[in-house]
């Protein structure tokens, strides 16, 4: 898919395509896809359980609409073992289960002719299992490239925005603003409670129930719609840039690769 | 949640709730949820890869809107090992991976206070891994009830509709009609090709690539919107009936159970 | 092995053959085997724990004697997680363990030159793990055909006989009659107790301890030797027919296959 | 089960008992069972593939007839990874699969009230996976005792008989004699070929295909029925002695144990 | 172990203690240990395969000598899947294997009375599997605290030193200097070759064979002994500080915890 | 590596080599390595927890110094499930974890060009998991030879020395003497307590906490430095002999092998 191709106007969703439509794209040079990975877990009294999936979808769909890179169906239940039964609603895969889901999917992407997989992660503790999957995929499929980016790592500015009020942020100002921008109907800002990041300098990685009583770490009451809109736009822009480079990137050392 | 409670007007999506909202529902008696399980796999030249997920979502969301029973985020990649690389687009989990995803989720549902899990399956070869998960859940969590229904098993009429043109149906008349009813924009009926069910009397369980060249088994060209609408409505009605019984059902032999 | 070959007079047991005898059979065209899968679980006060294995063996041995198709050693402990410690004697594999046993065996059958595996199942909750194994085998060994039949699925008449007194039958009239026909010494009809199938319309899949106090679901006291003999003969006849088709069956779409 | 109880005249087979019969035995003090573990693998040109299962069954059934200790259904496919496709017929579980089968079974034995498990092994390379299972069982079930004996370890005399013509014996004089004693119809002594044990002093553990072309290691042509009968009788006698001690044995350090 | 306790003069090695010595320490309040995790992988033409283990040992032993916190035996083979057969010598565990090793060990540490586990990691791609282990440990053992630090994360200065010449550093200036300080006999600086970090801005996570031909990423020829000594001392000092906080740290939200 | 090559003066440690140094050795004919496998477990009141690793290292390093065969980094935590929390300090892998560690390593050794793996085991209950690994390696890598020897199996004399005071020896005379020879600083002979081997004739394989209160089985108080020195020297000599044969050994049946 040449860079000069005019951008799609709507996201290209892998599961909305028929197989001949996908075959035609691959025939035309497509070999890159995005995999959004979210979570289903408590996000304080004011945000929906699906916040992380929602964020990963908003950003990947936005980038797909501008680049035509397809988005795979999201992984909606991630690894949220740090949460506990104190707050109902959290669902979690074991780290090994999540990694296995991704490697199983990668095997079939490879079968379909995809060679560049960009995982866009919306939840902190998904990172390690996804990275384990990355290690296995690039080892087992020598011609497969894999990238893993969490939303907050898409640019230095975005990183700063996410961590502004908390290092171990959760349902904080940035996350709240993001949902206010994309699904305002799911935010109850009147119920938001702030909690300082008491664990930011901790030696140990505590569970969330050891860090907060409300489920919040950060200052969500400061969130506004405009900053949420700016955050989403910033993420999409950064991801589009990443994808533009991804489509053409060659390895630092350029060896012939089996197709 | 008493039966007399007025039906919700929109589906209750687990991931759209905040934890206090869910806690209030559970406090109020909710102990039942639906888990839609779909697939991402080729469905002939005229239907989208996400057909099975789409169907499971249409039916569970419809039933949730009438009953207020929450719907969990769908499992969008199921077990599609019968498909192959002949048609790009199929993604599959190994049977053991799918079963593990469900048992991991069930453990957290149990933590949240859910005791009745109704799996609504939209894809034939998901059934065995989901049944394996059911076996493990009811063994490991003695007070958890699990039900597993595929869409075509929701009533005798629906079963007949699904199997009308093919026993080993795939992207057939019923499935095509269903998508025409709920997502007409994703159907290319002009590209549909019919293929008789050559494997209906086979001894062996062949892979799909051994049964069809187009990816279709059945007569999709006969599909119409009205029959699709009737099929969806029939599925929702049958599922609502099932849920009404599920919410109050006691085991055949009534033993005290741990909560 | 041509169809015209005169039927064996006794069953051909894989484990009674020496390797050169088996090699000669394969050289002569044999590429089909039967794998009987049973269970070790309570079958009420009047039937032996090994009832399901016994049934699977009676039928497969009978069919082997008439067709010369070898019978593998049975899997005698299946997946009986629905049973519990209420009744001593049940042994069970986890679903994943049972599936793994079968896929391990299949790999070696393939090494030996076998390409057609017919699993004959005598126990309801074995079906899902065996089906998972089937999915994996036909995916991993592209030229391997696998069939899975439970005894009660061998013909419509047999299905009717099994379900006559109970949908969720267990140690019922049909199973009791079957053992009376093949191992009368192991039946204590005087101890049989009837219990109606209270769970036949249940939404949820309950464990056996939630469905029966005696371990029986059905009306075993009605069982007679003649109906048991007819049932066994019916199963054997239906299986012989299935095998006759299996030996020559080609996939619906006839592609060249690697050997 | 007191030692003074008169010996059974026929073996007590776990799977031939009904659950109330087993419950009565356990009520009466039974807490010991035997698990015969065999194999399905090539045993030279003159012995059946099921030789090892056959031997384990002959000995455990014999000992059960004299002691009344029940015999579980055999594990008929063991770990035979050392064999290869050179000789058709061998079936094998991976070591981890075999270990898992045994630990799954042990969990259910424990549920049934059994506290003493005696594994009787008929195949060399089963030993390590069975020992791994033993390690896990005694760790996970603190009040469960497990013993593991291979046939050739039942007494010094038996050990000598087995290793008389080969250290790495396979289908040798002793094994051949044993089958001649218990199933003479399955021995083709005229086809037996001798091969010296060339690997007896090897540093490495070679696969069987690296040690023999015929599948034999040893001098089977020397086998006679009388020595087979003596071997079987010796094994049974030694096992009966072992069981007599097993039923009453207390740990070297006598701590209270949970039941 | 009170902070006022005089520092040990030599490292306390877990495996050099007898069980009564360890019991006495635990009786005296010890509940913290360090687990050094290294790797066995190519480190360019001038450094030993065990570089990462060596570094983790130098730093943990140094910190132990000053604090008396015991050091567990190192994990010497980590997760090095990014390396390939291009350079002989690399050994690697799969990510899931490494995680399992750590969770197995943690279970036994918990049995011994240890409640604070500090993992000190010397190899980049160990991080994700170790983090997965951390997630599982804090979930499965509610009163266990786990910390994970890579050497380069012990302080901002150390981070800067490691990344001075390369973001994707490997066998670079800092690592070379470190070995020159602690095991000069294992460095062949004359063979060192420099390679710029060509992949620092890459989208994808390439394998090492796609990033470097020599195995080096960075400018090792600049390394000196004094800077290595400073690096080691800096790491030890930072780790001692971390351990001093770790021993007394309470969770941000102070809930009663089971012991 | 030809036999005539002059012996190294110091052990060749795999992890002390750079990759070009290892590549040169392999180029020169090296295809054999030793893997020492130890344990971390209680060894009575007088010996260190790392006794078994220490012994395996002393012997393999000694043999390497005389033969130039490299020693891999040791596996320091083995399978010690027989031990319990009665004595703090024991760390254990599950049997399947230990086997997996070894098969993962073997895959990479094979990649490096190693074809002869000699495992030297210092701990009794490691044997079964290591043997399981051996089975898998020789099956999955057809041209890989694997040997497994426990220290006490290196010669009949050594076997006798180890079992002199106890069959189920643990921290006994031989083990104590061995540590007195190689690490006298780690032995507290004054604290040694003797305990006869009460379980030597037991039917069941009891856990260590069922066999000894002190953690000792045997008569360690008899140990002397000279007998320890003789034991170590005997082990090294026997291992050198084994390695000399291993380097040149061909399979009993000499088939062409893939490299």
**Is residue C226 classed exposed, middle or buried when 0-12, 13-18 and 19+ CB atoms within 10 A define those classes?**
exposed
Helix (H) or strand (E) holding F114: none
CB pair distance less than 8 Å for A19 and B84: no
Please give the interface size between A and B, counted as residue pairs whose CB atoms are below 8 Å apart: 173
Among B49, B87, B216, most A C-beta atoms within 10 A, so best to mutate, is B49
Contact: chain C with chain D (3+ CB pairs below 8 Å)? yes
**Which pLDDT score, from 0 to 100, does residue F253 have?**
86
Q: How many CA atoms lie within 13 A of E181 on its CB side?
A: 23
Among E53, E88, E93, most F C-beta atoms within 10 A, so best to mutate, is E88
Is the pLDDT at D6 greater than 50? The verdict is no
Q: What is the mean pLDDT of residues D111-122?
A: 98
CB pair distance less than 8 Å for A104 and B90: no
**Which pLDDT score, from 0 to 100, does residue F9 have?**
79
What are chain C's partners, defined as 3 or more CB pairs within 8 angstroms?
A: B, D
Question: Predicted confidence band at D30 (pLDDT cuts at 50, 70, 90)?
Answer: very high
Closest CA to A76 of A114, A116, A38: A38
3-state secondary structure of C47: strand
Q: Tell me which chain A residues have a C-beta less than 8 angstroms from the C-beta of B109.
A: 91
- Chain B residue whose CA is closest to A184: B16
- CA distance linking residue A57 with residue A55, whole number of Å: 5
CB pair distance less than 8 Å for B129 and C127: no
Least confidently predicted of A20-29, C21-30, F139-148, F195-204: F195-204
Question: Predicted confidence band at E184 (pLDDT cuts at 50, 70, 90)?
Answer: very high
- Chain B residue whose CA is closest to A83: B108
- Chain E residue whose CA is closest to F49: E15
Q: Kindly report the pTM of this predicted structure.
A: 0.96
Among B128, B150, B207, most C C-beta atoms within 10 A, so best to mutate, is B128
Question: Predicted confidence band at A193 (pLDDT cuts at 50, 70, 90)?
Answer: very high
CB pair distance less than 8 Å for D49 and C15: yes
Q: Tell me which chain B residues have a C-beta less than 8 angstroms from the C-beta of C129.
A: 128, 132
What's the pLDDT tens digit per position in F174-227?
A: 999 999 999 999 999 999 999 999 988 999 999 999 999 999 999 999 999 999
- Chain F residue whose CA is closest to E39: F15
- CA distance linking residue F69 with residue F61, whole number of Å: 9
- Give the DSSP letter of residue F16: G
User: Which stretches of chain F drop beneath a pLDDT of 50?
Assistant: 1-7, 256-259
CB pair distance less than 8 Å for A100 and B97: yes
Q: Tell me which chain B residues have a C-beta less than 8 angstroms from the C-beta of A15.
A: 40, 48-50, 53-54, 76
Instruction: Show the CA angle centred on residue B85, arms to residues B80 and B86, nearest 5°.
Output: 110
Q: Tell me which chain B residues have a C-beta less than 8 angstroms from the C-beta of A23.
A: 87-89
The whole-angstrom distance between E152's CA and the closest CA on chain A is 15
**Which pLDDT score, from 0 to 100, does residue F255 have?**
58
Average pLDDT, chain B: 94
CB pair distance less than 8 Å for A127 and E125: no
Is the pLDDT at C49 greater than 70? The verdict is yes
CB pair distance less than 8 Å for B88 and A26: yes
CB pair distance less than 8 Å for F204 and D249: yes
**Which pLDDT score, from 0 to 100, does residue A255 have?**
58
CB pair distance less than 8 Å for C15 and D45: no
What are chain A's partners, defined as 3 or more CB pairs within 8 angstroms?
A: B, E
CB pair distance less than 8 Å for D44 and C18: yes
Which residues, other chains included, contact A156 with Cβ-Cβ below 8 Å and sequence gap of 6+? Answer: none
CB pair distance less than 8 Å for C50 and D22: no
Which two three-digit tokens encode residue B256? Answer: 């005290």
Question: Predicted confidence band at E199 (pLDDT cuts at 50, 70, 90)?
Answer: confident
CB pair distance less than 8 Å for C188 and D18: yes
What's the pLDDT tens digit per position in B111-170?
A: 999 999 999 999 999 999 999 999 999 999 999 999 999 999 999 999 999 999 999 999
CB pair distance less than 8 Å for F111 and E84: yes
CB-nearest partner of B202 from C198, C211, C249: C249
Q: Tell me which chain A residues have a C-beta less than 8 angstroms from the C-beta of B47.
A: 18
Q: Please give the full DSSP string across E102-122, using - where no structure is assigned.
A: HHHHHHHHHHHT--EEEEEE-
Is the pLDDT at D257 greater than 80? The verdict is no
Question: Predicted confidence band at E1 (pLDDT cuts at 50, 70, 90)?
Answer: very low
Q: What is the mean pLDDT of residues E142-159?
A: 97
What's the pLDDT tens digit per position in C222-255?
A: 999 999 999 999 999 999 999 999 999 999 987 5
**Which pLDDT score, from 0 to 100, does residue C228 have?**
98
**Which pLDDT score, from 0 to 100, does residue C91 have?**
98
Least confidently predicted of B206-210, B225-229, D196-200: D196-200
What's the pLDDT tens digit per position in A174-190?
A: 999 999 999 999 999 99
**Is residue B211 classed exposed, middle or buried when 0-12, 13-18 and 19+ CB atoms within 10 A define those classes?**
buried
Q: Tell me which chain B residues have a C-beta less than 8 angstroms from the C-beta of C210.
A: 251-253, 255
Contact: chain D with chain F (3+ CB pairs below 8 Å)? yes
CB pair distance less than 8 Å for A77 and B73: yes
Question: Predicted confidence band at E155 (pLDDT cuts at 50, 70, 90)?
Answer: very high
What's the pLDDT tens digit per position in C72-119?
A: 999 999 999 999 889 999 999 999 999 999 999 999 999 999 999 999
CA torsion, ordered B77, B81, B85, B86, to nearest 10 deg: -110
**Is residue A184 classed exposed, middle or buried when 0-12, 13-18 and 19+ CB atoms within 10 A define those classes?**
exposed
CATH architecture assignment, domain E14-163+235-243: 3-Layer(aba) Sandwich (3.40)
**Which pLDDT score, from 0 to 100, does residue E253 have?**
86
The whole-angstrom distance between D90's CA and the closest CA on chain F is 14
Contact: chain E with chain A (3+ CB pairs below 8 Å)? yes
What's the pLDDT tens digit per position in B173-196?
A: 999 999 999 999 999 999 999 999
**Which pLDDT score, from 0 to 100, does residue E255 have?**
58
CB pair distance less than 8 Å for B40 and A91: no
**Which pLDDT score, from 0 to 100, does residue B108 have?**
98
Question: Predicted confidence band at D5 (pLDDT cuts at 50, 70, 90)?
Answer: very low
**Which pLDDT score, from 0 to 100, does residue C255 have?**
58
The whole-angstrom distance between A253's CA and the closest CA on chain B is 30
**Cβ pair A197, A166 in contact under 8 A:** yes
Question: Predicted confidence band at E157 (pLDDT cuts at 50, 70, 90)?
Answer: very high
CB pair distance less than 8 Å for C251 and B199: yes
What's the pLDDT tens digit per position in E112-126?
A: 999 999 999 999 999
CB pair distance less than 8 Å for A19 and B97: no
CB pair distance less than 8 Å for D18 and C108: no
Of all residues in chain C, what percent carry a pLDDT higher than 90? Answer: 92
**Which pLDDT score, from 0 to 100, does residue C249 have?**
96
Question: Predicted confidence band at B5 (pLDDT cuts at 50, 70, 90)?
Answer: very low
From first CA to last CA, the distance across chain B in angstroms is: 17
Is the pLDDT at C131 greater than 80? The verdict is yes
3-state secondary structure of F143: coil
The whole-angstrom distance between E185's CA and the closest CA on chain A is 31
**Which pLDDT score, from 0 to 100, does residue D259 have?**
37
CA torsion, ordered E234, E235, E236, E240, to nearest 10 deg: 100
CB pair distance less than 8 Å for C18 and D91: no
The whole-angstrom distance between D225's CA and the closest CA on chain F is 31
CA B158 → CA B182, B199, B238, distances in Å?
A: 17, 22, 9
Q: What is the mean pLDDT of residues E240-248?
A: 97
CB-nearest partner of C204 from B125, B147, B205: B147
Q: Tell me which chain B residues have a C-beta less than 8 angstroms from the C-beta of A129.
A: none
CB pair distance less than 8 Å for C19 and D40: no
- CA distance linking residue A93 with residue E94, whole number of Å: 19
Q: What is the mean pLDDT of residues E104-119?
A: 98
The whole-angstrom distance between C22's CA and the closest CA on chain B is 23
**Cβ pair D203, F245 in contact under 8 A:** yes
**Which pLDDT score, from 0 to 100, does residue E257 have?**
44
**Which pLDDT score, from 0 to 100, does residue A3 have?**
34
């Amino acid at each position: 898919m040449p860079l000069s191709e005019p951008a799609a106007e709507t996201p290209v969703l892998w599961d909305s395509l028929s197989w001949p439509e996908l075959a035609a794209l691959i025939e035309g040079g497509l070999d890159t896809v995005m995999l959004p990975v979210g979570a289903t877990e408590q996000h304080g009294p004011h945000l929906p359980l699906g916040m992380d999936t929602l964020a990963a979808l908003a950003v990947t769909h936005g980038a797909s609409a501008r680049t035509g890179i397809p988005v795979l169906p999201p992984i909606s239940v991630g690894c949220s073992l740090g949460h506990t039964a104190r707050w109902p609603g959290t669902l979690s895969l074991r780290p090994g289960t999540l990694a296995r889901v991704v490697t199983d999917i990668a095997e079939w992407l490879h079968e379909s002719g995809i060679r560049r997989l960009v995982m866009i992660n919306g939840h902190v503790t998904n990172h390690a299992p996804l990275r384990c999957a990355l290690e296995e995929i690039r080892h087992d499929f020598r011609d497969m490239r894999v990238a893993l980016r969490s939303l907050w790592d898409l640019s230095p500015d975005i990183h700063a925005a996410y961590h502004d009020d908390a290092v171990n942020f959760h349902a904080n100002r940035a996350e709240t603003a993001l949902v206010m921008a994309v699904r305002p109907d799911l935010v109850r800002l009147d119920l938001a409670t702030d909690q300082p990041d008491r664990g930011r300098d901790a030696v140990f990685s505590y569970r969330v129930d050891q860090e907060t009583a409300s489920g919040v770490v950060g200052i969500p009451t400061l969130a506004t719609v405009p900053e949420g809109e700016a955050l989403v736009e910033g993420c999409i822009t950064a991801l589009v840039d990443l994808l533009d480079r991804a489509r053409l990137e060659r390895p630092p050392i350029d060896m012939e690769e089996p197709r």
